[in-house]
Amino acid sequence: MKHRLKKVLMVLVAVWMVVPLFVPAAAADGTQHSLNRYFQEAATEYEVPVEVLMAVGYAESRWNDHQGKPSQSNGYGIMHLVDNPEQQTLQAASRLTGISENELKIDIKQNIRGAAAVLADIAKEQNDGQLPQELGQWYTVVAEYAGYKNDYVTKIYADEVFRLIEEGVQRKVDGETLVIHPTTVHPEKGAYQDVEIPIIGGKADAPFVRWAPAHSSNFTEANREADGNNIDTVVIHTTQGSYSGAISWFQNPSANVSAHYVIRSSDGEITQSVSTKNIAWHAGNWSYNVRSIGIEHEGYVDQPGWYTDAMYRASANLTRYLCDTFAIPRNRDRIIGHNEVPGATHTDPGPLWDWNRYMTLVNQ
Ligand SMILES: [Zn+2]
């Protein structure tokens, strides 16, 4: 009896030791992704240059699929297939590939395939049924893929994608290294060539900002500066989407949100969407909206790599300027995260945001 018990125990121990060794191997076989392979296969299948496909993915998500969770403007996956009243690349991808919208949202491989199908479809539509021969001819295709209504916000997006192709990108995603090799390209911008992206500010110590006004239904007109300096707080946000995506979303009448400023991750470029005299809808708390200025930072709360040095510096400069202009004390009581607004349901800017570093820069 004792002997049999010992034998059973030994078998159990043996199983316990072997099983953990086998489980990861089996899981790796079934679920490990190769983004390089997915990009290459989708590019080949739909005859889209792999640089274009990868650069669009990088601009949208830094090649992170966010486990199927939507962006602020309801875009999904690495390629940000969008499902909102003004923009429908998710539906188009489903129609072109025969894959369900739900699968396109959550399956990384199909998300990339779906985007390739949409890009190829736009390309053919723009070129009498033919695919472009030159890399630079994909500029207007990328522009249309963005699906924005405003020409200069679209230009910001397509310029960014082609900058990535021109300068190249290297990034490790889940242990896999993805590379866009720097490629000389001459974007044929078509109608976007002459689109001007307005710049305001730059006077005295006001930072240079681009101006892309939000839709009038997404903020409240006010006269805050003349009302006797009733602005006393700066609220720090994360876009949960791309820079141009956030700017465009604020121009979308179905958004019902806005912020005064949006800052780009790659270089700290700032776009203003709402004048500081008006009340942007960003804090989710009316009394805070009324007295605050909202600054959005390109990125996702749970994804490292978006909060760059360039973005911290640009944002800190802007906040310092706003504090000086509106006599806002430069401390953490008055410069707060969205998550610190009473009743906030949002967690941005999240634990990856380096408050010590930020406040040091603000007080420099
Ligand atoms: Zn927020």
Q: Which two tokens stand for residue 64?
A: 């992170």
83 phi/psi in degrees, rounded to 5? -135, 85
Amino acid at 262: V
The mean pLDDT of 295-322, rounded to a whole number, is 96
**pLDDT tens digits, 19-57:** 433 333 333 445 567 999 999 999 999 999 999 999 999
Whole-number Å distance, alpha carbon 260 to ligand 1 midpoint, is: 12
Contact 178, 64 (CB under 8 A): no
d(CA 51, CA 119): 13
21 phi/psi in degrees, rounded to 5? -70, -35
Q: Catalytic annotation on 188?
A: no
Neighbours of 292 (CB within 10 A): 24
Whole-number Å distance, alpha carbon 20 to ligand 1 midpoint, is: 41
d(CA 343, CA 277): 24
Whole-number Å distance, alpha carbon 289 to ligand 1 midpoint, is: 12
The mean pLDDT of 290-315, rounded to a whole number, is 96
d(CA 268, CA 248): 18
pLDDT score of 31: 55
Domain limits, the chain: 35-192, 199-362
Whole-number Å distance, alpha carbon 283 to ligand 1 midpoint, is: 6
Topology of the domain comprising 35-192: Lysozyme (1.10.530)
**pLDDT tens digits, 187-238:** 999 999 999 888 887 666 678 899 999 999 999 999 998 766 689 999 999 9
- pLDDT interval class at 154 (50, 70, 90): very high
Buried b (16+ CB within 10 A) or exposed e, 100-136: eeeebbebbbbbbbbbbbbbbbbbeebeeeebbeebb
Whole-number Å distance, alpha carbon 281 to ligand 1 midpoint, is: 10
d(CA 143, CA 33): 29
d(CA 72, CA 271): 17
pLDDT score of 86: 82
E strand or H helix at 235, and its extent? Answer: strand 233-238
**pLDDT tens digits, 6-20:** 555 554 444 444 443
Whole-number Å distance, alpha carbon 155 to ligand 1 midpoint, is: 25
The mean pLDDT of 84-103, rounded to a whole number, is 95
CATH code for the part of the protein at 199-362: 3.40.80.10
d(CA 287, CA 107): 41
pLDDT score of 201: 73
Catalytic residue among 60, 144, 269, 296: 296
**CA-based nearest residue to 220, from 277, 276, 280, 292:** 280
**DSSP assigned state of 240:** S
Q: Do domains 35-192 and 199-362 have the same CATH topology?
A: no
d(CA 352, CA 302): 7
Q: Which two tokens stand for residue 38?
A: 């997915």
Whole-number Å distance, alpha carbon 142 to ligand 1 midpoint, is: 28
Q: What percent of the chain has pLDDT over 70?
A: 89
pLDDT score of 275: 94
Whole-number Å distance, alpha carbon 278 to ligand 1 midpoint, is: 18
d(CA 36, CA 112): 11
